[in-house]
Structures are given as C-alpha cells and as structure tokens.
Structure 1
Amino acid sequence: MKPYKPSIINKTAKVLARPLSMLVANSRTESVARLAEAYWCVLLGKGSGSGWAFDTEINAAKNAIKTSSPILFDVGANIGEWSFQLNKLFPQAQIFMFEPLPNCQQIIKTKNITNSLLIPCAVSSSKGLVRLHTPSETSPIASLHQRYDSYSQDREFTTIEVNTITIDDIIEEYKVERVDFMKMDIEGHELEALQGAKKSLKNKVIRALTFEFGIGNINSRTYFRDFYELLSSLDYQIYRILPSSQLMHIKEYYEDCEYFRGATNYVAIVT
C-alpha cells in the first residue's frame, strides 16, 4: 500500500496522527519510539542484515540454488565464512572468492575450502588500481568509498591500493557458462560491481544473486532505485530477506525502499 493513495485507512491515520504524535514524540518517549521504529523495520527485513542472522543469508542462497554442483561467486569474501558454509552445504560446488585484503586472503587459505579459487582483487565496473579504506587488516567494513556514516565515525581508517577486476572479465577468462549464485557484500560498491557484470546479467549467466543496501550506499551515493531499474530491466525479480528466512517480493519500486540504517539484504532471481 502506498500512503499517498486515498483510502479509509489513510483518512483514519491522518485523524489519529496528531494525538498519537503527542504521545510518542516527546522528550520522555522519543528514544523508545525510535527504538520501536527501528525494530519494526527489522521485522520487515530493513536493516536486518546488520549481523542479526547470518543463517538467513545462507538459507536464501541454499533455497535459490537448484543444483547439487553449483558455481558460486563470493564477492567480498572477507575471511571466507560464507564460502566455507556453502561448501559444507554443497561439497561439489566450485567457488570463486574475491577478496582484496591480504590478511583476509591468508585466513581464507587456512580454511582449505575445496574446489575454490581465490582472486585477490576488488570487484568493480572496470579494471584498475584503486584505494581501499579499512579500519583493520581483516575488517568486514573495508570499502572502496571513504566512510562518513555514523557507524564509522569513531574508527580510524587506513588506505591501501588494490587491483580491481570485473565479473564479466572473470566469467570470460575462466569460460564460466553459468553462475548459480553470486553473493555481494562490498560496502556500498555493489552497483559498480553489477555494472561490471552487465553482460553476464543480460545473457542470464548469473541465475541468482544477493546484494546489500544500506549505510554503505550513503558513502557511494547510490539509491535502491538504481538497483531496481538495472535488475528489473534484465528480468530479475527482487526479494528482501526477512529475519524469518522468508522472502518479501519487491513487486514495484517505492521510496520506502531507500532505507539507509544498517544493511538490508536482497535476493535477485532471474525469471
């Protein structure tokens, strides 16, 4: 339901807005009201990717994969935990991991993930040499964009130079005929990564993918509308991952999808 459309519910809500606002928006109840607002959004999947339930992301991938021997892309592998868990679920999987931080690469190697290839680069829309900003040697919030969000304000970031590649180039180089699932967690740079995978998306080589949207997109100045227009134009259906592991279908774009608190996880599946 869109709030601007006339309805009995909307008319009733407008009448009740003034007394309810006086009740919940005052100096004594403001903090509780804001907490309740955030939690209600989490129940709808908004911001629920902020460490609430890693297993929901695993379940979303598991349910979208339709073969016992999938080809998986882990874009922003960090220390390889997602790939490690998927490898346990699909022992015959072939996994490509993309991770630019050297210390993360060393940890990934100790996990001995079978049938895997570690590509020591960041993923973007083109090849090049860029700056990666990170508060630690293995930080999961390292980003190709300088971070000005409130979550990062008290952290000291250092900068290193890393190489970038594109998904299209890797698919062509390794002659990958299909990617059954691609997970992306690259702190606001997901849209650029998708731009570098446009050929593969258009040709439906990538069957399903996940991406984060939220606080990192403030730094990259990208909107959910950008993702929606790109993916829907290429015949992908977009779903929000809920804390229950269920999926909420985003049937059409609406501005309330522009939710920047924490991180919201989405799945896009080709039709």
Structure 2
Amino acid sequence: MKRLLRPKFWISRLFFFLHIPLPFRVRVTDRVRIALDPLSVPHALWLNRDKKGKDIEVVQNEVREGDVCVDVGANVGHLALVMAERAKNGTVIAVEPGIRMFQSLKKNIRKNGFKNIVPVHAAISEKEGDVEFYEYSHTDTFSSLVRSKNRSAHAYMVPSVTLRHILEQNGLGRIDFLKIDVEGAELHVLKSLGDRISDVRKIYFEYNEDNYRNFGYSGANVIAFLKENNFRLLTEEFTSDNYIAIRK
C-alpha cells in the first residue's frame, strides 16, 4: 500500500506503459548504471534495488578476476555488467533473444564502457536455426520460447544456437560462471552444451516448476541432469528461486 502512495511508483508506471525512456540511469553497483528504458528490470531496480539484490550479490561473490562468464537470458545486462566489473581481464558473453532487451543491453554496455562483454542476439536451445519468441507487452520478464496460455503475446522469429556453438565461436575453453534465466528452458540450455558441460565450473540458474512444466519436464529432471554431470547443489529442498550448482 505504501508503494502505491509514492509518486515514484506512478511515474514508473506511466513511463513504462507509454514506452517512454526516462532521461537518467539506475544504479546497480557503485560503478554500474543502466538506462531507465521502459522495460521491467530497470524499473524494478529504480523502485526497489533490493528486488534484484540477491542476484547482484551472488555475482559479486562468485565471479573472480579473469573469469569467463556466460549470461543466458541477459535481459538489459544488469548482471552481465556486474560480471564484467568483477571479471576485469576475463570475458563475459551476454545472450538475449528479446529485441527490445537486446537493444537496451547493447546501450548499457556502451554507456558503462566495458570492453570485455560480447552481446549475442539469440535464443539458446538444443537445435540451431530460427525459433519463434513470445514477448508480452505488460511485462517483458516473462518472454519465452513457449507461448503462455493466459497472456496475449507478440511473436517474432529469432536466431537459435547451442551454447556449445557460442563457446566454439568465441574460442572459449571453459565457463567459470554460467547464469541461466530463460523462463523454463533451463534444461535445454544445459543440454545444448553437449560434452562441453564438463568445462563449466559454476551454474546459477532459475528453478521454477511452473515454467519447467511449460517445456514438458520437471525440476527433478534438472537436478538429476546436474548431478549426473558431477555438479553438487547447496540444498536438496527446492522452491521457486535461483540456485548455485558447483562442479565437484
């Protein structure tokens, strides 16, 4: 209720729904700022930085100087930029299929002056080619390769590549930190690595049974796949949240 009484909230809603960018940037860390484009993530950070605080903290704690990081579902780049800040002499691959999010991602990379981020406009899946991508006008955070039955979607085609292809294309021999937030396609992203999954050290992924069900599998399938590939998880009790898997 308190939030509804704040002028900032109504300014955010107005500019978001009119698709008008606000003329300033939002703080992510002391160095990283992102444009206040009419997209869900920058507005969420502007209204309440703590909403994304856990994800930012995980990246700051887990990424080291010189690391190779891959952000699948990079959105506007708020976490990819923190990875670049932490990795310094390392490399960050930021993958985002959504057209509006990708344009904002490229702008944020340019405005922050990082030279160690490679933006990739694509969806990650087990097959290469073109796939249909669904975006929702009221919230871009639910954009997905699967159409939601309860939402009106705008569909368009995007290139699809495997994560294995991304590694080979960029000459990367390892991934120190892999973040995956793809609204239910997490298992397909993992499988797209093929045998290169053995080159991944840490995975930070979204766990959501409802999203997984849209793709025809369950959380148990994700956990089993990770364990079969020699990853250990820091918990055995899973709810809708983000979790870290570490190579044994």
The structure-2 alpha-carbon separation of the partners of 1:128 and 1:189, relative to structure 1 and needing over 3 Å to count, comes to same
1:211-230 deviation per Cα after TM superposition (whole angstroms, max 9, x unaligned)? 11213223112211111111
Asked if 1:70 corresponds to 2:71, the answer is: no
What SS class does the counterpart of residue 179 from structure 1 fall into? coil
Asked if 1:270 corresponds to 2:226, the answer is: no
Task: Give the AA of the match of 2:174.
Answer: R
Asked if 1:218 corresponds to 2:213, the answer is: yes
Structure 2: runs of 5+ lacking an equivalent:
1-48
What is the CA distance between 1:168 and its match in structure 2? 0.9
Could you say which residue in structure 2 is the equivalent of 1:169? Answer: 165
1:71-102 deviation per Cα after TM superposition (whole angstroms, max 9, x unaligned)? 11010111111112222333333110111122
Contact (CA 8 Å) 2:134, 2:147: kept in 1 or not?
yes
The structure-2 alpha-carbon separation of the partners of 1:161 and 1:137, relative to structure 1 and needing over 3 Å to count, comes to farther
Asked if 1:199 corresponds to 2:200, the answer is: no
1:22-62 deviation per Cα after TM superposition (whole angstroms, max 9, x unaligned)? xxxxxxxxxxxxxxxxxxxxxxxxxxxxx974222232233
Moved over 6 A (4+): none
Task: Give the AA of the match of 1:128.
Answer: G
1:122-178 deviation per Cα after TM superposition (whole angstroms, max 9, x unaligned)? 001121211111103981210001123xxxx3x421111111101111112222111
d(CA) in 1 for partners of 2:179, 2:138: 22
Could you say which residue in structure 1 is the equivalent of 2:106? Answer: 109
Task: Give the AA of the match of 1:264.
Answer: D
d(CA) in 1 for partners of 2:213, 2:171: 35
Task: Give the AA of the match of 2:226.
Answer: L
The structure-2 alpha-carbon separation of the partners of 1:82 and 1:231, relative to structure 1 and needing over 3 Å to count, comes to same
What SS class does the counterpart of residue 131 from structure 1 fall into? strand
RMSD of equivalent CA atoms: 2.1
Contact (CA 8 Å) 1:104, 1:138: kept in 2 or not?
no
Could you say which residue in structure 2 is the equivalent of 1:145? Answer: 146
Alignment of 1:227-238 (within 5 A): 227-238=222-233
Residue 202 of structure 2 is aligned with which of 205, 208, 212?
208
Name the count of aligned residue pairs.
195
Alignment of 1:61-140 (within 5 A): 61-65=59-63, 67-111=64-108, 112=110, 113-136=114-137, 139-140=140-141
d(CA) in 2 for partners of 1:221, 1:52: 32
d(CA) in 1 for partners of 2:247, 2:233: 9
Residue 58 of structure 2 is aligned with which of 57, 60, 78?
60
d(CA) in 1 for partners of 2:141, 2:90: 24
Task: Give the AA of the match of 1:197.
Answer: L
TM-score (norm 2): 0.72
d(CA) in 2 for partners of 1:61, 1:159: 32
Contact (CA 8 Å) 2:97, 2:123: kept in 1 or not?
yes
d(CA) in 1 for partners of 2:164, 2:154: 30
Whose relative contact order is higher, 1 or 2, with alpha carbons under 8 Å and at least 6 apart? Answer: 1
d(CA) in 1 for partners of 2:96, 2:139: 10
d(CA) in 2 for partners of 1:198, 1:77: 21
Could you say which residue in structure 2 is the equivalent of 1:182? Answer: 178
